[in-house]
Structure 1
Amino acid sequence: MSYAIEVKNVTKEFGAKTVLNQVSMQVKKGSIFGFLGRNGAGKSTLVNIMTGISFVTKGSVHLLGEPLPLSSAVQRKIGVMPDYSMFYEDMTALQHLRYFAKLLKFEQPNAYYMNLLKQVGLEDAAHVKTKKFSFGMKKKLGIAQALVNAPELIFLDEPTSGVDADSILGIHEIIRNLAKKGTTVFLTSHNLDEVEKLCDEVAIMENGVVRSQGTLEELRTRFQPTLEVTMKHAQASKDSKAILTKLIENHGEILDSSPEHFTFTLQDDTMIPVITRAFAQMKIDVYRIEVNEPSLEEIFLDVASSQ
């Protein structure tokens, strides 16, 4: 397995306070990776270490196969978009990209920068000074700036916070296209719905420790709140309903019922076929089964509250 990021047993101390405690994490190359945690959980500290702003007390971090501190050659393969990108108000979008590329020693023809602006939906604003940009436009320019060196790995910190719905959809498309081209995207976000839609894997940090990492399905298996199941069926007799009620209550909790439906919770989906067979044996047709799987928000709250 090839990893863009490998964090091994990282501890960060500020005086007597331990902010990160034996943190380990791996991010696959070419994936979109979501990093979650409450304010104060230690997310920003770890990102600051990975992006060279801070240093570890103990442990190691490898980016694109190289240990920190990175060589200039590897640094130029990494892009960073902070939560609040700062721009010179009297410079245009195109001028910003040219200037930033020069700092990174990655100067390109104007057509290259124009293509970047097109990717983020700012081609029509290439010659507009950033003091006239909306908040959403500045977010998009921040992404373009982070992409100016054609990075293999990009850190995006809250790329859609405070952005209107149309801009959010555009930014999501940018992120998906990056991954399709093989760029590894490390996404920090408080928007759990966004992370659920975009990310291949997720890590959840709480109190300076990565409590869990994996795909959404793996997290559901590991920290699964109860499933909510609704079965809509042909009208059942009072006696049949009583038998079915007892069966379901042996494995879960009934939330609602009528002669033609049950809504109940289960710890997992293994009992659904058993319950369905019971309906069949009583010759009661089941018209519809709805299973509401736990959302990432429910998993996140479950992980956080279990500590």
Structure 2
Amino acid sequence: MIAISVRNLTKSYGRSIAVDSVNLHIKKGELYGFLGRNGAGKSTFINMLTGIIQPTTGEISLLESKNTNTILKRIGVLPDYTTFYESMTALQHLSYFSSLQGARKSKLECLTVLEKVGLIPHVAVKVGKYSFGMKKKLGIAQAIINEPDLLILDEPTSGVDAESAIHIQRLLLDLNKNGTTIFMTSHNLDEVEKICTRLAIMKDGLIVNEGTLNELKKKYTESLEVSMAVSKRPPSQLLMAVASITGPTDAIESVLNFKATNDEMIQRVVRLLVNNEIGVHRISVNQPDLEDIFLKG
């Protein structure tokens, strides 16, 4: 099942194009990260997904339905802005918003969700007294109160402290493990690298990179920087044999440093050393991280 499918999705404002002919397909059960600098078009993209704004051209299908209104009960949304009623408590908010979707939740069910996001100590406090981070937690609670099949989150951990961010990340992993498809934007690259199964990077309204983290790393890896700790320094003749495989090789005491273009090259060096009675104790490979990929994108 495809949870989110967009075809040639475009949003323009006069001559300015915010989202430019985007094609994206996200399978049910994915925890999908959507990255991009400020102004890249991420929020515009999400606002089209959720029906807040209409695309200029293109098609959107959510949970295999092109009519968003028919599946609202199955979708939870945390927009980049969330407005609450300052005179109401968190408990009152959840009861009210769940009823708007035709599924009024009991007090116990609302309390259970508030516990998941860490708001139980403030459950009776009016939202007007909440901090930005507490309002973000309430926004997530509002998004998940009706147990959606698809969760669309715009910056779910921005503005919260480190401990709360970890708590929210664990909550998203638990929801995903139990079958919820999650589509989320984030400026926290470590967060995306830690929890997302697949990701896309948007730049100037275009998807410039898309895939699993390993797929993107392979795409951006011209050569791997390898450091190999061995049982003893190889003799000169053996170092020359290693260099014939890898190119220039530095040997500092019992550590070999070289560049490899693929994993097979590393395996050939290991076999060569072992066949010449030199043990390999440790191999460190320096690959690009998500920050490198994001900046190059």
| Counterpart for residue 266 of structure 1 | 260
* Partner residue of 1:143 out of 140, 145, 148: 140
Question: Does 2:199 align with 1:193?
Answer: no
Answer yes or no: is 1:276 the counterpart of 2:270.
yes
Q: Are positions 1:287 and 2:281 aligned together?
A: yes
In structure 2, relative to structure 1, the CA distance for the partners of 1:211 and 1:104 (3 Å cut) is same
Residues 210-260 of structure 1 show CA distances to partners (whole Å, capped at 9, x for unaligned) of 12322222222333353232101133256247515633652xx65x64021
Alpha-carbon RMSD: 2.1
Counterpart residue number, 1:213: 210
Structure 1 residues 259 and 241 mapped into 2: Cα distance closer, same or farther (>3 Å)?
Answer: farther
How many angstroms apart in 2 are the aligned matches of 1:205 and 1:56? 17
| Alpha-carbon displacement from aligned partner over 1:59-103 (angstroms, at most 9, x marks no partner) | 1010111115x22x3122211112332222222110111222233
Q: Which runs of 5 or more residues in structure 1 are unaligned? A: none
The match for 1:227 is: 224
Q: Deviations over 1:92-126 (max 9, x none)?
A: 11011122223333212211211111221222321
Q: Distance in 1 between matches of 2:60 and 2:51?
A: 11
- 1:60 maps to 59
> Alignment partner of 1:203: what SS?
strand
Contact 1:247 1:275 in 2 (8 A): no
Q: Following TM superposition, by how much is the alpha carbon of 1:146 offset from its aligned partner in structure 2, in angstroms?
A: 0.9
Kept in 2, the 8 Å contact 1:201–1:214? The answer is yes
User: Structure 1 residues 264, 191: closer, same or farther in 2, change over 3 A?
Assistant: farther
Q: For residue 221 of structure 1, what is the amino acid of its counterpart?
A: K
C-alpha distance in 1, partners of 2:220/2:66?
A: 32
Q: How far, CA to CA, are the matches of 2:265 and 2:30 in structure 1?
A: 34
Unpaired runs of 5+ residues, structure 2, are: none
Select between 51-60 and 289-298 the one with higher mean Cα deviation: 289-298
How far apart, CA to CA, are the structure 2 residues paired with 1:145 and 1:102?
11
Q: Distance in 1 between matches of 2:48 and 2:202?
A: 15
Query: What is aligned with 1:92?
Result: 89
1:38 lines up with 2:37 in the alignment = yes
Moved more, 57-66 or 105-114: 105-114
Closer/same/farther in 2, CA of residues 124 and 234 from structure 1, 3 Å limit: same
Q: Relative to 1, partners in 2 of residues 1:79 and 1:118: Cα closer, same or farther, differing over 3 Å?
A: same
Give the aligned residue type for 1:104: Q
Give 1:159 deviation, angstroms.
1.0
Please tell me whether the aligned partners of residues 31 and 183 of structure 2 are also in contact (alpha carbons under 8 angstroms): yes
- SS of the equivalent of 2:102 reads coil
The aligned counterpart of 1:173 is 170
* Count of equivalent residues: 297
Equivalent of residue 108 in structure 1, options 98, 105, 109: 105
CA distance in 1, matches of 2:294, 2:260: 19
| Structure 2 residue matching 1:177: 3-state secondary structure | helix
Deviations along 1:123-159, one digit per CA (max 9) or x if unpaired, are 2321112233333322211100111222211111111
SS in 2 for 1:22: strand
TM-score, length-normalised on structure 1? 0.89
Alignment partners' CA distance in 2, 1:244 and 1:301: 37
Structure 1 partner of 2:8? 9
Aligned residues of 1:25 and 1:213 also touching (Cα < 8 A): no
State the SS of the aligned residue for 1:169. helix
Runs (4 or more) in structure 1 with deviation over 4 Å come to: none
8 Å Cα contact 1:35/1:202 also seen in 2? yes
C-alpha distance in 1, partners of 2:154/2:38?
13
* Paired-residue identity, %: 45
Residue of structure 2 in register with 1:26 after alignment: 25
Contact 1:232 1:289 in 2 (8 A): yes
